[in-house]
Amino acid sequence: MPQPSEPLPTLKKYFGFDGFLDAQEEVVDQILSGQDGLVVMPTGGGKSLCYQLPAMCLSGVTLVVSPLIALMKDQVDALLEKGIPATMINSTLSWDEQRQRIDQMKRGEFKLVYIAPERFRVAAFMEALKQVEISLFAVDEAHCLSQWGHDFRPEYMKLGRALEQIGRPQAIALTATATPVVRKDILEVLALREPFETVSGFSRPNLSLSIVEVEKHKVKHERLKKVVAKWKTGIVYCSTRKRVEEVGELLHSWGIKSIAYHGGMTPDERDRTQNIFISKQADVAVATNAFGMGIDRSDVRFVLHYEVPGSIEAYYQEAGRAGRDGEAAYCELLFNYADTRTQEFFIEGANPGYQTIADVYQFLQNDADANFEVQRTIDEIKEGAEVKNGMAVGSAIGILMRNGYAERFDISGKRMKGTRLLKPDQALNIDRHALEEKERRDREKLDSMVHFCYGQQCRQQAILEYFGEDDAQTCGTCDICINAFGGSAREPADEDELLIVRKALSGVARMSRKVNGRWEGIFGRGRIVQMLMGSKSQEIKRVRLDELSTHGILKDCGTAYLNELFRSLQKAGLVFTQRGEFPLMTLTPQGEKVMLGKSSCRLVWPEQHQSS
Ligand code: ADP
Ligand code: ZN
């Protein structure tokens, strides 16, 4: 097999980037070493490059499975612009056109070919594909193959078999949905072979997450008032339209410029209101979860959850709309166990037992808040005895299928052309089993959310672990981190105290290295303390730690004090210990900020130092 070419020069030459983002380099290396893999990064994290760059280094063609024709086209256009030979094959092409592109693939005329998943069902297509040298098979938006994902697509389920049929090339899957169940489904359905798994980029160090247990409405009002007074610009999420209106009026009565937004409004109203917020004519938006997908306002300083959301995924996505500009932002969830009843009601209500298309409309109308996408579809559907717009019905059914409500309702192909007319009394083939499954899964997600609220682990760390980042650190800024000290934590009393912390952190930095923007430890705490104490021991000299500029800078503090200080710094999330063969200490992003004087800190200060 020919050796792949070097990634770095290719990165520069074709993509015009000087370096890698976060975990990209690690992923690319692993792919080029021939391994299957699963890559989980948030949207915008740079997933495409993870397969596009290897595609340019490998000899054959890389097939990319992608669910949306519009996205596919954008990607191909962008690649062509870079001078990369790419194309796509989907149902908008005639069979002759498809065959022609496959012939070109055989002749090695493309490096990347985007393929719609339903193509793999076509026997003639699969036959033709067998003669192509496929170096890599990349499944984008891989969560689509999991019923646990938010965007289930039955065609994706067949990809495992398709892989076998084309001779089982090296395969990788990419997604932004990191929950353990979804990841497990991906590994299983595609039958990835000893895959590497990379989850990265989900941490949001500028968000400070807080959960406040609240039983009375009056207390919720007080919290709301405090948060708005302190943070000014933000979003309040409520579970129901009724609550949105109530909270909206409350804010109004306090003289706060705010908008209220929910799925029950007409599209025009929604656009108008949304624009008021985006254009900064209002400071606070009160909304159901229908709000947020289209909004892009980077200076949102707070997100307040007035009630508990239905899942950790939903919570983090909504909270994540704060602080897009990278500046500090605050997220508070007002948790009352009684509110989980509302979520349970949504879960039960999603199992309406409809039999016909007309029932589907009814359901979509009623559940519009939980399903913004659906609401839009409804807007497209003309009311009347007979449904004229086959395409709109198609996408409504598509949504039902993806959510596991309907099993088989094959309107593909025809749907694209919008020619199929469906009558309201058309019977639906509903999969009761899938419905029950969905209900069970949604209950589990709600349970995880409740568990998270009651939990006593650092909020950020708990979320990252839920998403599968295995080296997640404590954040130092959430309610748990701050309370970890039983209220005895405080900011440095004076410049001297702050300086001690900054010196200690510089010592850690000197004894760590930075790889792709992340700190990695090289030494344990004991060695770092020895160095800061100015030890001249054999061991210190052997690795030349006595030559560091930080050698001995804290010798006045004493070993006992420094050991104690490091324990506090760890609790405060400024340093962390990497678990491994040896515990190695290094800086967290927050620790780096404090070291550079860009941020202060709160910690439990050790007893005054006695020299040891
Ligand atoms: P995702 O598919 O994960 O949502 P994209 O692949 O679209 O993310 O990448 C997001 C953005 O990051 C794009 O604008 C892309 O050009 C940019 N990007 C990706 N890799 C790099 C890199 N190594 N250096 C700089 N920018 C990058
Ligand atoms: Zn924390």
Query: Which has more confidence, 598 or 32?
Result: 32
pLDDT at 602 over 60: yes
Confidence of residue 297 (pLDDT cuts 50, 70, 90): confident
Q: Is 21 in the pocket of ligand 1 (CB under 6 A)?
A: yes
Closest approach atom of ligand 1 to CA 20: 23
Residue partners of 278: CB distance under 8 A and separation at least 6? 295, 296, 297
- Burial (CB < 10 A; 0-12, 13-18, 19+), residue 533, is buried
Q: Of 224-228, 352-356, 478-482, 550-554, where does mean pLDDT reach its minimum?
A: 352-356
Whole-angstrom distance, CA of residue 555 vs CA of residue 533: 4
Residues 360, 428 contacting (CB under 8 angstroms): yes
Asked if 588 contacts 461 with a C-beta cutoff of 8 angstroms, the reply is: no
Instruction: State both tokens at 7.
Output: 């990634």
Cβ of 20 closer than 6 Å to ligand 1, yes or no, is yes
Q: Is 52 close to ligand 1, i.e. is its CB under 6 Å away?
A: no
- Which DSSP helix (H) or strand (E) runs through 134? strand 134-139
610 pLDDT more than 50: no
C-alpha 21 to ligand 1 mean position (Å): 8
Q: Does the pLDDT value for residue 560 go beyond 50?
A: yes
Nearest to 182 by CA among 148, 140, 144: 148
d(CA 325, CA 298): 5
Q: Ligand 1 pocket: which of 12, 17, 72 to mutate (most atoms <8 Å of CB)?
A: 17
| pLDDT given at position 44 | 78
Contact 483, 459 (CB under 8 A): no
Q: Is the CB of 44 within 6 Å of ligand 1?
A: yes
Nearest to 202 by CA among 77, 319, 28, 376: 319
- pLDDT of the residue at 69: 80
Report how far residue 93's alpha carbon sits from residue 114's, in angstroms, rounded to the nearest whole number: 13
Question: Distance (Å, rounded) from C-alpha 177 to C-alpha 41?
Answer: 8
Per DSSP, what are the bridge partners of residue 447?
Answer: none
Q: Which atom of ligand 1 is nearest to the CA of 17?
A: 24
Which ligand 1 atom is at minimum distance from the Cα of 43?
A: 4
Which atom number of ligand 1 is nearest to the Cα of residue 19?
23
Residue 332 Cα to ligand 2 middle (Å): 13
**Nearest residue to 535 (alpha-carbon basis) of 551, 550, 558, 511:** 551
Which residue lies with its CA nearest to atom 18 of ligand 1? 46
Question: 43 CB under 6 A from ligand 1?
Answer: yes
Instruction: Specify the residue for token string 């200060």.
Output: 605
Q: What confidence tens digit (pLDDT) does each residue in 52-99 have?
A: 999 999 999 999 999 888 788 889 999 999 999 999 998 888 989 999
Distance 25 CA to ligand 1 centre (A): 13
Closest residue by Cα to atom 23, ligand 1, is 20
- Does position 377 have pLDDT exceeding 50, yes or no? no
The amino acid present at 262, given as its one-letter code, is H
| pLDDT grade for 215, boundaries at 50, 70 and 90 | confident
CB-neighbour burial class of residue 19 (10 A; exposed 0-12, middle 13-18, buried 19+): exposed
Contact criterion met (CB below 8 Å) for 20 and 28: yes
Q: Taking a C-beta distance cutoff of 8 angstroms, is the pair 211, 339 a contact?
A: no
Of all ligands present, the nearest one to the C-alpha of 460 is 2
Please indicate whether residue 201, judged by its CB atom, sits closer than 6 Å to ligand 1. Answer: no
Quick one: how far is CA 423 from the chain centroid? 40
pLDDT-based confidence at 349, cuts 50/70/90?
Answer: low
Helices (H), 115-158: 123-129, 154-157
pTM of the model: 0.67
Q: How far apart are CA 385 and CA 179, in angstroms?
A: 43
What is the number of the ligand closest to the CA of 202? 1
Q: Is 610 touching ligand 1 by the criterion CB < 6 Å?
A: no
Task: Using pLDDT thresholds of 50, 70 and 90, give the confidence band for residue 432.
Answer: low
CB of 45 shorter than 6 A to ligand 1: yes
Instruction: Give, for ligand 1, the residue of 21, 56, 84, 143 to mutate: max count of ligand atoms closer than 8 Å to Cβ.
Output: 21
Contacts of 315 (CB under 8 A, 6+ apart): 305, 309, 333, 449, 452
Instruction: Tell which one of 27, 49, 175 to mutate to probe ligand 1, the residue whose CB is within 8 A of the most ligand atoms.
Output: 49
Distance 146 CA to ligand 2 centre (A): 31
Distance CA 521, CA 535 (A): 20
The DSSP result for 535-579, as a single string, is ---HHHHHTTGGGSTTTTTTTTT-HHHHHHHHHHHHHTTSEEEE-
**pLDDT at 471 > cutoff 80:** no
Ligand 1 lined by 16 (C-beta under 6 Å): no
pLDDT at 307: 95
pLDDT mean over 402-419: 35
Position in ligand 1 atom list of the atom nearest CA 140: 2
Q: What six digits make up the tokens of 498?
A: 């702050």
591 CA to centre of ligand 1 in angstroms: 27
Q: Helix 357-366 and helix 390-402: axis angle, to 10°?
A: 70
Alpha-carbon span 33 to 31, nearest angstrom: 5
Bigger pLDDT: 306 vs 394: 306
Distance 504 CA to ligand 1 centre (A): 36
Phi and psi at 302, nearest 5°, equal -140, 150
Cα of 462 from ligand 1 centre, angstroms: 27
Mean pLDDT estimate for the chain: 83
Per-residue pLDDT at 425: 55
DSSP 370: G
Q: What CA–CA distance (Å, rounded) separates 53 from 82? A: 12
pLDDT in tens, 168-189: 999 999 998 878 788 999 999 9
**C-beta of 157 in contact with ligand 1 (< 6 A):** no
Pocket of ligand 1, candidates 26, 48, 72: which has the most ligand atoms within 8 Å of its Cβ, to mutate? Answer: 48
Question: Across residues 263-292, what is the average pLDDT?
Answer: 86
Phi-psi region of 284 (alpha: psi -120 to 50; beta: other; left: phi over 0): beta
d(C-alpha 405, C-alpha 199), whole Å: 30
Say if CB 359 and CB 352 are below 8 A apart. yes
Q: Quick one: pLDDT at residue 405?
A: 44
Taking 50 as the threshold, does the pLDDT of residue 348 lie above it?
Answer: yes
Span 85-96, pLDDT tens digits: 999 998 888 989
Ligand 1 centroid to residue 28 C-alpha, Å: 14
pLDDT of 3 strictly over 80: no
The alpha carbon of 490 and the centre of ligand 2 are apart by a number of angstroms equal to 16
Q: Which atom of ligand 1 is nearest to the CA of 48?
A: 6
Task: Give the rounded percent of residues in the chain with a pLDDT score beyond 70.
Answer: 82
Percent of the chain with pLDDT over 90: 50
Name the β-bridge partners of 136.
62
Q: What is the Cα–Cα distance from 245 to 252, expressed in whole angstroms? A: 10
Nearest one of 437, 160, 190, 146 to 313, comparing CA atoms: 146
